[in-house]
Amino acid sequence: MTKFLPISEPSWPDAEGILVSVVVTTYNHEAYISEAIESFLMQRTNFRVEILINDDASTDDTPIILGEYEQKYPALIKVWYQNINQYSQGKKPWFHVLFPNARGKYIAICEGDDYWTDCLKLQKQVEFLEANHDFSGVFHNTAFLDEREPDLEARPWRTYECDVFNSKDIFRKTSLFHTSSYVFRSVAVNTEFLIKQNIKSNDMLLLGVISKYGKLKFLNELMSVYRKNARGVTSKWSDVEFHRDRIELNNSLNDYFDYDYNDRASSIIKYHKNQLIRLQYPVLYRVKRVLSKVLTRSNG
């Protein structure tokens, strides 16, 4: 029977190479970061893991908490403490800091205010990728916990009708998987392309890039929690910013895939453009809808 060791196990052989790099971004997560790190430390595997954390100049006690963990697990945890907030400078911690320093064959992602719930999460995902070389990433379902509605219990973030996806499935209105479920081959990452894109929806952009390298597998298990709170990036966007960013995202991915999925991309872009008209020119939007209905009836 294979023995799964805690990833913090100090007796890992020095010659044992790191197989998985867990990358984490934090900003003012003092209330959550310990729960996230403890969920990483509870992982049991038959391979070595490293935990790479970028703190984006937090102004609360997040750096202090990170320092305590880094001191306790120096061979396991590495933290970059930014003096200036990189996100506000247009830099992307995943692409500029964490991915270039990841030594693992595979990369796993979790934000500092989310956490994992299954101690064999990494083991299950890595076993799949090791056995299925035509897949570039493996994902799972996530429990959605909305702190703005504390009376509601956590619930599945998405429902899925299949378990294998490819590049065409990336072109959609919403994220296909939550970042806390991401495990993918590090060779699938085109960092040069990712850095050049001026897009905030980095999770969807990254998933598109990963999908170009191979198929995507979905495991129908709840193995992480996505905590929705007012501190999240998308929570701070205006509706106009959101739709503009999704237009840029789909334009970039459409170009990246040499317009192989142009029909799908164009449909999504059209949707977001219509939403911008609705938000910025509500009268024009209503007139456009009325005219569309009239034309539909006359053609019918």
Res 231: pLDDT: 55
d(CA 94, CA 97): 6
Res 230: pLDDT: 52
Count CB atoms within 10 A of the CB of residue 247.
Answer: 19
d(CA 268, CA 222): 28
> What string of H, E and C letters represents the secondary structure of 258-294?
CCCCHHHHHHHHHHHHHHHHHHHCHHHHHHHHHHHHH
pTM surpassing 0.85? Answer: yes
Res 155: pLDDT: 81
Instruction: Answer whether 269's CB lies under 8 Å from 287's CB.
Output: no
Res 106: pLDDT: 99
Res 109: pLDDT: 99
Instruction: Answer whether 150's CB lies under 8 Å from 195's CB.
Output: no
Q: Which residues of the chain have pLDDT under 70?
A: 1-2, 10-16, 149-154, 230-236, 285, 288, 290, 294-295, 297-300
Res 3: pLDDT: 79
d(CA 283, CA 261): 33
Res 1: pLDDT: 46
Count CB atoms within 10 A of the CB of residue 23.
Answer: 24
What domains sit in the chain, N to C, each tagged with a CATH number? 5-231 (3.90.550.10), 255-299 (no CATH)
Written as one string, the DSSP assignment of 11-32 is T--TTS-EEEEEEEEESS-TTT
Burial of 231 (0-12, 13-18, 19+ CB in 10 A): middle
User: Of 58, 64, 63, 62, nearest to 31 (Cα)?
Assistant: 62
Res 282: pLDDT: 75
In the chain the first and final C-alpha atoms are separated, in Å, by 67
Q: Give the amino acid at 217.
A: K
